[in-house]
């Protein structure tokens, strides 16, 4: 299309959002699709957060906020970082954005020069590679394996570093594998990075609280990494607030101020009511959201048990987030109901059409051997979906 830029033509559509849209379309045609594609809690936002938002409307919070967020919200974020992560930030280091996705986009735009390489251990969250590309960076994908619980080793990191490496981006707990880096594993990666002081780390901790084993570690907790780590977080997942669109970073002051500058030109800052609601969310003790985490844990056991019965699906045991990421290579080359499955995308499409279950191809996460299934859904839907998948593959 002649009116569109090369930039937008190069960009892929978000595979998670595309699959969710496809499932919606099929439902509108009358098909009964079970949606296990989108990573979105199926809970309502807790009442105490909704009440804070209603109060904010009544108190006439309706003007532009400071570009990087209300002072009280930044203070709540500082207190949260200290309480949960033992990280000390001051207000100049905090930027509130329209979701963690925008936080990531800001960081990419302010840190990446054209041609800079960004190391992405795969599977990585779907939007990382496209956000890096739109900032004219070059994603350097490091393939991890199920045998190592989908975690990057220090040797792999070392081998991926070149003079052009500018950043390392990862999530822990990981979307889509659910893997959690231990303190020792992160320290070993930090030891490699020690030799390369120009590399900035983006530690995406949005699933921090959806952790079934404890022991969440932030890269910035290591003193020698603090000055070059951006800690990304948000309220979408743990507080069931996906649509409220609030994310935030704690970062070295220069990076935070640069994000403030770009946001000042692009958005003027995040929604005022959602910001007030987020103060209530972050000031509450974490125990207030434990009921959701407990449910996710039960569902993890349920889906892992059910998937044992599905031939050709090989799973790791996710320690956090709400996804399973089975390796499905055993099914490649097979035909089902006259359809040949050659890769994860074929399988994901086959499951949509023949099992009426929406999943996401691992291709979108940089691993074409797996598919992602979200278990942020009711027990009934999970059980029904896996039964349908089993039947479609039998």
First to last CA, the chain: 44
Q: How far is the CB of 14 from ligand GLU (least distance, A)?
A: 5
100 binds, among ligand GLU, ligand PMP, none (CB under 5 to 8 A by kind): ligand PMP
- Distances 98 to 65, 78, 176, 257, 330 between C-alpha atoms, Å: 13, 18, 22, 16, 41
Give CA 321 to chain center in angstroms.
9
Instruction: Taking each helix axis as running N to C, give the angle between helix 344-354 and helix 379-393, from 0 to 180 degrees, rounded to the nearest 10.
Output: 110
User: In sequence order, what are the residues at sequence separation of 6 or more whose Cβ sits closer than 8 angstroms to the Cβ of residue 47?
Assistant: none
- Does 16 engage in binding with ligand GLU (CB under 6 A)? yes
CA nearest to 118, candidates 157, 79, 82, 145: 157
Q: How far is the CB of 37 from ligand GLU (least distance, A)?
A: 7
Stretch that binds ligand GLU, among 37-45, 186-194, 281-289, 303-311 (CB under 6 A): 37-45
Number of alpha carbons in the 13 Å side-chain half-sphere of residue 59: 11
- Does 20 engage in binding with ligand PMP (CB under 6 A)? no
CA nearest to 71, candidates 82, 79, 62: 79
158-177 positions binding ligand PMP, by CB under 6 A: 171, 175
Nearer to ligand PMP, 153 or 242 (CB): 242
- Does 21 engage in binding with ligand GLU (CB under 6 A)? no
Q: How far is the CB of 44 from ligand GLU (least distance, A)?
A: 17
- Does 175 engage in binding with ligand GLU (CB under 6 A)? yes
| Number of residues this chain uses to bind ligand PMP (CB under 6 A) | 13
- Does 14 engage in binding with ligand PMP (CB under 6 A)? no
- Does 101 engage in binding with ligand PMP (CB under 6 A)? yes
Residues, the chain: 394
Nearer to ligand PMP, 92 or 242 (CB): 242
| Number of residues this chain uses to bind ligand GLU (CB under 6 A) | 10
CA nearest to 128, candidates 112, 106, 104: 104
- Distances 367 to 8, 117, 327, 342, 343 between C-alpha atoms, Å: 24, 19, 9, 14, 10
- Contacts to ligand GLU by CB under 6 A: 14, 16-17, 38-40, 101, 126-127, 175
- Contacts to ligand PMP by CB under 6 A: 39, 99-101, 125, 171, 175, 204, 206, 234, 236, 242, 247
């Amino acid at each position: 299309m002649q009116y569109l830029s090369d930039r937008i033509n190069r960009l892929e559509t978000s595979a998670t959002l595309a699959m969710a849209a496809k499932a919606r379309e099929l439902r509108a045609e009358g098909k009964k699709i079970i949606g296990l594609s989108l990573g979105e809690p199926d809970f309502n936002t807790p009442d105490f957060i909704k009440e804070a938002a209603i109060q904010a409307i009544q108190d006439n919070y309706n003007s532009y906020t400071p570009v990087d967020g209300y002072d009280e919200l930044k203070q709540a974020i500082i207190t949260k970082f200290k309480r949960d992560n033992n990280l000390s930030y001051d207000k100049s280091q905090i930027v509130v954005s329209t979701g963690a996705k925008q936080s990531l986009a800001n960081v990419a735009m302010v840190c990446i020069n054209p041609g800079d390489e960004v190391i992405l251990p795969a599977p990585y969250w779907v939007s990382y590679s496209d956000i890096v590309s739109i900032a004219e960076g070059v994603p350097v994908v490091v393939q991890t394996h199920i045998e190592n619980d989908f975690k990057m080793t220090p040797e792999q990191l070392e081998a991926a570093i070149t003079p052009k490496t500018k950043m390392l981006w990862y999530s822990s707990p990981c979307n889509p594998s659910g893997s959690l880096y231990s303190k020792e594993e992160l320290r070993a990666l930090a030891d490699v990075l020690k030799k390369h002081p120009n590399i900035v780390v983006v530690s995406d901790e949005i699933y921090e609280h959806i952790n079934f084993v404890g022991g969440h570690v932030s890269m910035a907790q290591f003193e020698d990494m603090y000055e070059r780590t951006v800690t990304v977080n948000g309220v979408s997942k743990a507080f069931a607030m996906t649509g409220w669109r609030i994310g935030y970073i704690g970062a070295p002051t220069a990076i935070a101020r640069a994000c403030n500058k770009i946001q000042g030109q692009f958005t003027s800052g995040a929604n005022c009511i959602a910001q007030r609601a987020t103060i209530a969310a972050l000031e509450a003790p974490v125990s207030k959201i434990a009921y959701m985490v407990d449910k996710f844990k039960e569902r993890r056991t349920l889906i892992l048990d059910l998937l044992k019965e599905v031939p050709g699906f090989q799973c790791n045991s996710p320690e956090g987030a709400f996804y399973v990421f089975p390796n499905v290579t055993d099914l490649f080359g097979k035909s089902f109901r006259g359809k040949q499955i050659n890769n994860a995308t074929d399988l994901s499409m086959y499951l949509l059409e023949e099992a009426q279950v929406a999943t996401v191809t691992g291709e979108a996460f940089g691993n074409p051997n797996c598919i992602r299934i979200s278990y942020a859904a009711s027990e009934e839907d999970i059980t029904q979906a896996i039964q349908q998948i089993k039947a479609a593959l039998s």
